[in-house]
Structures are given as C-alpha cells and as structure tokens.
C-alpha cells in the first residue's frame, strides 16, 4: 500500500520530536540547580582548559596534556595521572587530573581544585571524564569557595549524578558518563543564583577526577529544545506546503 508523502513526513517529524525529547539527559530544577548532559566531547577537538575561570588553589590537581604533565607543572600527590577526559592521548587540550589515578593526595585527604569565575555566571560547564565515586562539584555564590553553597553534584561511579541544592535532592539518570578511557560527557550545571566559584574534589582511594573544557555561560535553552527544533521545522514546512496548495486551489476556482 502506498503511504501518502505528506502523512509519512508528518509521522516522521512527530516521531523525531518524541524520540529526541526523551533522549536528552536532563534533571531540574532541583533547588537552585538544573543539570544537563549535552553529549560526548569530540576527541579530535581542541578545548581550552579554562574559559571564564581561573584556578585559585589546588591540592594534587596537576594540569596535563595527552598522557603527560603540562610543561612547568608538578604533581604533589602519589600515583599516576588519571585517564585523559578527551579519550585521545594525542589531543593537545590541557586537562586537570585531580587526585591522579586513585584520588590519592600527598596530605592523606581529598584532592581538590578551587576555580573562581572571571564574572559570576549562570551556567558552569565542563567535560567530565571517567566518573568515580566521590567526584564532587560544589558551587558557591562568592569567589574562592565562599558565599552561599548553591548546591553539589556528585558522581556515583556509573551513569547517574546525585544533585543536592537548597534542601532538595535529585538524580540525573541515563547520562553518557562512564568510568572508561573514552571521551567524557559535556555537563552543564545551571543555577538560579549566579555562580561565583566552584570547588572540584575527590576523596583518597576513590578514583581520580578528570576534567577539561571548563567554562561559564548564560542560561541555555531547555535541553529538549535543541532536539525539538529539527522536528518542529519539518512540521512547519509541511503546514506551509498545505497552505500554499489550499491557496492555489482557491485561486483556480
């Protein structure tokens, strides 16, 4: 049986919308925070380590390139570097290896890095490499880890993130985070209160925290809109075609 082209196009567009909308990993708002998994990083793309932020203090959080320490960087903890969050040893992007391969700190506690935003931002974005238990992002309203604690986002070691903010808690599920050597996930953390600084931590013995592509940015569109747009455009095209044909038919009469 022949299926009318218009009907098949409409069905395809609707299917694209429904499937794409469900595919976005998105949680929130949970308290002050909304967390979105944008997708995997591109292993062939060069990402700046820091855009709109500076490292103000760190414990066992050396900067690396590929599989080696960056020139002029020393490692103050034990163990080896963690896995490159770009999943490609030849990628020239710099990245942070917080806690090395095992989360080990030379002072016996957590490994950490505190970043202050150049100006307060509504969204903190990063490439999150192999996720390990206790990898935690804490967001603050002030500089240097001061002011109000806006919330925390903590890895479970699998494909979920635990989110706590302003007395509320929730989970981002079905992310593409995985404890592997592949390219990491691009994670956006949006806050209703501007983010002044961020602390990145991991506990000794619980695995390293590998990060690249750190940036701040304005509040994005809801994650599903990125996926809905192509389907909506297709529906708009179909509706426009029908209107043109109806107009042509009325003129012909």
pLDDT digits (tens, 9 = 90+) for 193-216: 999 999 999 887 777 899 999 999
- Same domain membership, residue 47 and residue 62: yes
* Collapsed DSSP state (helix, strand, coil) of residue 73: coil
- Same domain membership, residue 243 and residue 145: no
- Same domain membership, residue 191 and residue 85: yes
- Same domain membership, residue 161 and residue 37: yes
Number of domains into which the chain is organized: 2
CB neighbour class for 58 (10 Å; exposed up to 12, middle 13-18, buried from 19):
middle
pLDDT digits (tens, 9 = 90+) for 85-118: 998 778 889 999 888 766 665 556 788 999 999 9
pLDDT of 230 reads: 60
- Same domain membership, residue 12 and residue 67: no
- Indicate the pairing of strand 50-51 with strand 209-217: parallel
Range of the domain at 244: 1-25+224-253
pLDDT of 228 reads: 54
Percent of the chain at pLDDT exceeding 70: 70
pLDDT of 74 reads: 58
The residue behind tokens 């494909």 is 159
* The two structure tokens encoding residue 115: 């970043």
pLDDT of 82 reads: 80
pLDDT of 64 reads: 87
The answer to whether residue 2 scores a pLDDT higher than 50 is no
pLDDT of 233 reads: 65
The full DSSP string for 146-206 is -S-EEEEEEE-SSS-EEEEETTEEEEE-S-S--SSSS--EEEEEEEEEEEEEEEEEE-TTS
- Same domain membership, residue 139 and residue 53: yes
In the predicted model, what is the mean pLDDT of the chain? 79
- Same domain membership, residue 104 and residue 190: yes
The answer to whether residue 123 scores a pLDDT higher than 80 is yes
DSSP state of 70: P
- Same domain membership, residue 234 and residue 136: no
Q: Locate the DSSP E strands across 31-107.
A: 33-40, 50-51, 53-59, 63-65, 68-69, 94-98
- Indicate the pairing of strand 209-217 with strand 111-128: antiparallel
Give the residue with greater pLDDT, 7 vs 130: 130
- Same domain membership, residue 148 and residue 56: yes
- Same domain membership, residue 17 and residue 59: no
- Same domain membership, residue 200 and residue 233: no
- Single out the residue of 110, 72, 76, 118 nearest to residue 214, CA to CA: 118
- Same domain membership, residue 164 and residue 49: yes
């Amino acid at each position: 049986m022949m299926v009318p082209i218009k009907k098949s196009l409409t069905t395809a567009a609707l299917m694209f919308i429904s499937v794409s909308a469900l595919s976005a990993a998105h949680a929130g708002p949970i308290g002050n925070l909304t967390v979105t998994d944008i997708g995997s990083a591109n292993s062939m793309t060069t990402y700046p380590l820091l855009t709109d932020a500076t490292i103000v203090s760190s414990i066992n959080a050396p900067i690396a390139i590929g599989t080696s320490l960056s020139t002029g960087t020393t490692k103050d903890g034990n163990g080896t570097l963690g896995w490159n969050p770009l999943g490609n040893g030849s990628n020239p992007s710099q990245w942070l290896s917080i806690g090395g391969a095992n989360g080990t700190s030379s002072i016996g506690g957590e490994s950490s890095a505190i970043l202050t935003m150049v100006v307060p931002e509504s969204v903190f974005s990063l490439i999150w490499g192999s996720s390990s238990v206790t990898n935690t992002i804490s967001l603050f309203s002030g500089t240097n880890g001061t002011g109000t604690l806006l919330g925390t986002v903590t890895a479970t070691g699998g494909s979920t993130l635990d989110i706590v903010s302003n007395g509320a808690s929730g989970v981002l599920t079905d992310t593409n985070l995985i404890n592997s050597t592949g390219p990491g996930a691009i994670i956006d953390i949006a806050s209703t209160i501007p983010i002044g600084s961020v602390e990145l931590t991991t506990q000794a013995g619980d695995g390293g925290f590998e990060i690249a592509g750190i940036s701040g940015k304005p509040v994005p569109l809801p994650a599903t809109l990125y996926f809905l747009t192509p389907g909506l455009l297709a529906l708009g095209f179909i509706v426009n075609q029908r209107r043109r044909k109806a107009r042509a038919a009325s003129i012909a009469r």
